[in-house]
Amino acid sequence: MYSDKVIEHFRNPRNMGKIEDADGVGEVGNPVCGDLMKIYIKVKDGKIEDVKFETFGCAAAIATSSMVTELAKGKSIEEAMKIGRDDVARELDGLPPIKMHCSNLASDGLKEAIKDYLSKRGRE
């Protein structure tokens, strides 16, 4: 049911874990099946210098979190904001239709982390 790439990312997730002194944290819940994802970002000179994730969810949720962190790393805030669920799914050679909502979760998590960063910075 899953592509080789999904399975590969599920087995060896990239950027897994937590950033203690993160500049932005995004936490999203999956309204469909009730799972949870957290994305941590570290920003320097307008670029995402480091990004990590924690996910409580299915193999697709783990693989999409892993992929979204790979896609975001090194990108400018503006570019990273544009990463959508279809980009994540495409990079993983597709997802079963029933699992597209997990990809949503990953791109939403990243967006929330960026928004968190921006609002924190606005306050400073």
Partner 1 sequence: MRVYLDHAATTPVDEKVLEEMLPYFTKKYGNASSLHSFGREARDAIERSRERVAELIGAESEEIIFTAGGTESDNIAIKGIAFRKGKGHIITSQIEHPAVMATCQHLEKKGFDVTYLPVDKYGMVSPEDVENAIRDDTILITIMHANNEIGTVEPIEEIAKIARENEIVFHTDAVQSVGKIPVNVKRIGMDMLSISAHKIYGPKGVGALYIKKGTKIEAIIHGGGHEKGLRPSTENVPGIVGLGKACELAEKRMEEDMKRMQRLRDKLIKSVLEIEESYLNGHPEKRLPNNAHFRFAAVEGESLILSLDDKGIAGSTGSACSSKKLKPSHVLMAIGLNEVQAHGSLRLTLGRENTEEEIDYVIEVLPPILEKLRAMSPLWKR
Residues that bind ligand FES (CB under 6 A): 30, 33, 35, 57-58, 60-61, 99, 102
Footprint of partner 1 on this chain (CB under 8 A)?
7, 10-11, 13, 16-17, 27, 32-38, 53-59, 61-62, 98, 101
Residue 54 binding target from partner 1, ligand FES, none, CB below 5 to 8 Å by type:
partner 1
Burial class of residue 122 (count of CB atoms within 10 Å of its CB; 0-12, 13-18, 19+):
exposed
Q: CA separation (Å) from 31 to 10, 28, 37, 95, 104?
A: 22, 9, 12, 18, 11
- Could you tell me if 106 and 61 are in contact, meaning their C-beta atoms sit under 8 angstroms apart? yes
Among the listed residues 33, 36, 58, 59, the single catalytic one is 33
Other Cβ atoms closer than 10 A to 112: 18
Q: Which does 17 bind (CB under 5 to 8 A by kind): ligand FES, partner 1, none?
A: partner 1
Minimum CB distance to partner 1 smaller for 36 or for 81? 36
Residue 43 DSSP SS3: strand
The encoded tokens of residue 111 equal 């967006």
Q: Establish whether 58 is a catalytic residue.
A: no
Structure tokens at 93: 């050679």
Q: Which residue is nearest to ligand FES (CB)?
A: 57
- For partner 1, the closer CB: 32 or 76: 32
- Catalytic positions are 33, 102
